[in-house]
């Protein structure tokens, strides 16, 4: 009697955002604010997690795997996991064929750029 309806009324074109992020290349030529926006959006697109999860990412969390990318392990309590479940781990592989949208490349650059701004870390 009532046909199923789509869950969302509209969707947005991710390619527009990716095109903008690709235009912010090379990474050494963009200001820190743009680098921060770029990293935030790449993490949001690649991880597909809640904002609370993204805000729980710490600079001490990335674990680098030589030649394969990085993993981010969450040590802080998040809203979605249930008690007794292993902590959330996000894996971001290296994309050498598409460095303009590579999350680990952007994380590495961000860590280098902000090294002098972090105290005691």
Question: Is residue 120 included in any domain, yes or no?
Answer: no
Question: Is residue 121 included in any domain, yes or no?
Answer: no
Question: Is residue 2 included in any domain, yes or no?
Answer: no
Number of domains in the chain: 1
Report CA Rg, the chain.
17
pTM for this model (two decimals): 0.81
Q: How far is 46 from 32, CA to CA, in rounded Å? A: 21
pLDDT digits (tens, 9 = 90+) for 30-80: 999 999 999 999 999 998 887 888 888 887 768 887 778 899 887 766 666
SS (H, E, C) 42-76: HHHHHHCCCHHHHHCCCCCCEEEECCCEEEEECCC
Query: Contact, 61 vs 73, CB < 8 A?
Result: yes
Q: How far is 18 from 95, CA to CA, in rounded Å? A: 15
Q: How far is 67 from 53, CA to CA, in rounded Å? A: 26
Please list, in sequence order, all residues whose beta carbon lies within 8 angstroms of the beta carbon of residue 71, skipping any fewer than 6 positions away.
Answer: 62, 63, 65, 89, 90, 91, 92
Question: Is residue 118 included in any domain, yes or no?
Answer: no
Question: Is residue 56 included in any domain, yes or no?
Answer: yes
Question: Is residue 62 included in any domain, yes or no?
Answer: yes
List the domain range (segments joined by +) for residue 100.
15-113
In the chain, % of residues over pLDDT 90: 44
Question: Is residue 20 included in any domain, yes or no?
Answer: yes
């Amino acid at each position: 009697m009532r046909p199923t309806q789509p869950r969302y009324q509209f969707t947005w074109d991710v390619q527009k955002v990716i095109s903008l992020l690709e235009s912010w290349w090379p990474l050494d030529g963009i200001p820190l604010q743009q680098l921060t926006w770029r990293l935030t959006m790449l993490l949001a697109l690649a991880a597909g997690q809640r904002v609370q999860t993204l805000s729980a990412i710490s600079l001490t969390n990335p674990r680098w795997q030589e030649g394969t990318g990085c993993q981010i392990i969450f040590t802080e309590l998040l809203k979605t996991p249930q008690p007794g479940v292993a902590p959330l781990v996000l894996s971001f592989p290296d994309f050498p064929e598409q460095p303009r949208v590579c999350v680990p490349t952007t994380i590495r650059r961000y860590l280098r750029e902000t090294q002098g701004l972090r105290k005691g870390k």
